[in-house]
């Protein structure tokens, strides 16, 4: 029997669960390292009231990696529509907050809920503490709060976390160093991807990882974060934050985006991300090209099965 390979996925937001749902079907040791800097909606309220790290992205990752009855998952992802104080909260966020109280620790709470919901793999919050994302804009203005950054609609110079330093979870650092493949998931570049990468020690761990580090590039730009960004601009932004040599390969979608999607995204001032091959090659990156879009969805999403198969083939 071959020893199972270790695959670690880093990220947050909507892109990460898509990859995890596909990867959990393969015979691998799967770990997810998840941002906890979200401050909008239910997550934001629980953070403020209970001083815990943001549970929202963790909740979605638990749902993606869990293997339980669909009804139990539906319950876990249920969002209350009304009820004084309950309205807007999701059941999973409340469970995570409760389990943090019961165990006295956010990470222990995640481990217990993962056990109950039969999660296939390990889930690590990037840090076991409450942390806040800030952005310095090109014009020098500082914006506080993950949900406020895209609303400023100005070019972003850099993002950083408070308190400084944020202490990364030691298990997360160890998982990266031991990984046969590290995947940086697609998602909002500055508000979902970066909050993991700017934690001290993460950049070093990526450089020391024994396996390849692959960045799954976004398919569309995002207004307020990556307007007019090419694939190389995405990577450049990551390198500006954590230094060079932390990414080995980039996975890009290589088919034209259909007009119906283009029109829909144009309303949000979003365009397809151009992948500028020459620049990527100059950056010493291996380019992996494939048709990786799920055409059955209303919005553009990576195809769970195709991306997972491709990533698994790399180990």
Model pLDDT for residues 200-213, shown as the tens digit of each residue: 899 999 999 999 99
SS (H, E, C) 246-276: CCCEEEEECCCCCHHHHHHHHCCCCCECCCC
Instruction: Determine what percent of the chain falls in helix, strand and coil, rounding each to the nearest 5.
Output: 40, 20, 40
Residue 1 has pLDDT above 70, yes or no: no
pTM of the entire predicted model? 0.95
For the ranges 36-40, 93-97, 156-160, 216-220, which has the lowest average pLDDT? Answer: 36-40
Please provide the average confidence, as pLDDT, over all residues in the chain: 94
Looking at residue 27, its pLDDT comes to 96
Distant-in-sequence, close-in-space partners of 74: CB < 8 Å, separation ≥ 6: none
Looking at residue 22, its pLDDT comes to 96
Degrees, nearest 5: CA angle 201-101-77: 85
- pLDDT tens profile 34-73: 999 988 888 989 998 998 999 999 999 999 999 999 999 9
Give the residues across from 33 on adjacent strands: 10, 124
**Residues of the chain with pLDDT > 90: what percent?**
84
- pLDDT tens profile 87-109: 999 999 999 999 999 999 999 99
Q: Give domain limits for the chain.
A: 1-35+126-130+160-315, 39-119
| CA end-to-end distance (rounded Å), the chain | 15
Residue given tokens 């990576």 in the structure block? 302
Looking at residue 295, its pLDDT comes to 82
> What tokens does 311 get?
């990533």
The candidate with the shortest Cα–Cα distance to 57, out of 73, 70, 41, is 41
Confidence of residue 81 (pLDDT cuts 50, 70, 90): very high
Looking at residue 261, its pLDDT comes to 87
Looking at residue 135, its pLDDT comes to 97
CA distance 199 to 189: 15
Superfamily (CATH H level) for 1-35+126-130+160-315: CofD-like domains (3.40.50.10680)
- pLDDT tens profile 303-313: 999 999 999 99
CA distance 92 to 82: 16
CA distance 203 to 310: 24
**What's the average model confidence in pLDDT over 135-160?**
95
Looking at residue 2, its pLDDT comes to 62
> Higher-confidence residue: 123 or 275?
123
Residue 73: CA count within 13 A, CB half-sphere: 13
**What's the average model confidence in pLDDT over 154-171?**
94
CA distance 151 to 8: 31
Confidence of residue 85 (pLDDT cuts 50, 70, 90): confident
Say what angle helices 15-23 and 56-65 make with each other, to 10 degrees. 20
**Residues of the chain with pLDDT > 70: what percent?**
99
Residue 82 has pLDDT above 90, yes or no: no
SS (H, E, C) 91-127: HHHHHHHHHHHHHCCHHHHHHHHHHHCCECCEEEECE
Looking at residue 300, its pLDDT comes to 86
């Amino acid at each position: 029997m071959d020893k199972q390979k270790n695959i670690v996925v880093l990220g947050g937001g909507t892109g990460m669960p898509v990859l995890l749902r596909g990867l959990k079907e393969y015979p691998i040791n799967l770990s997810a390292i998840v941002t906890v800097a979200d401050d909008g909606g239910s997550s934001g309220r629980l953070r403020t009231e209970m001083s815990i790290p943001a549970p929202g992205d963790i909740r979605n990752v638990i749902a993606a990696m869990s293997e339980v009855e669909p009804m139990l998952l539906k319950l876990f992802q249920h969002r209350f529509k009304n009820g004084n104080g309950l309205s807007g909260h999701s059941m999973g966020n409340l469970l995570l907050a409760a389990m943090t109280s019961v165990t006295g620790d956010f990470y222990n709470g995640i481990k217990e809920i993962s056990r109950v919901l039969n999660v296939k793999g390990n889930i690590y919050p990037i840090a076991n503490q409450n942390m806040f994302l800030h952005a310095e804009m090109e014009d020098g203005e500082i914006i506080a709060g993950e949900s406020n950054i895209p609303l400023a609609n100005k070019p972003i110079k850099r993002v950083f976390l408070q308190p400084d330093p944020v202490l990364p979870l030691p298990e997360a650092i160890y998982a990266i160093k031991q990984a046969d493949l590290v995947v940086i998931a697609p998602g909002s570049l500055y508000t979902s991807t970066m909050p993991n990468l700017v934690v001290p020690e993460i950049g070093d761990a990526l450089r020391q990882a024994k396996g390849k580090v692959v960045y799954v590039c976004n398919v569309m730009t995002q207004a307020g974060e990556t307007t007019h960004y090419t694939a190389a601009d995405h990577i450049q932004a990551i390198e500006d934050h954590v230094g060079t040599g932390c990414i080995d390969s980039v996975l890009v979608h290589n088919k034209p985006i259909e007009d119906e999607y283009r029109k829909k995204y144009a309303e949000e001032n979003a365009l397809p991300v151009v992948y500028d091959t020459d620049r990527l090659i100059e950056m010493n990156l291996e380019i992996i090209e494939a048709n990786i879009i799920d055409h059955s969805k209303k919005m553009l999403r990576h195809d769970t099965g195709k991306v997972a198969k491709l990533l698994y083939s790399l180990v």
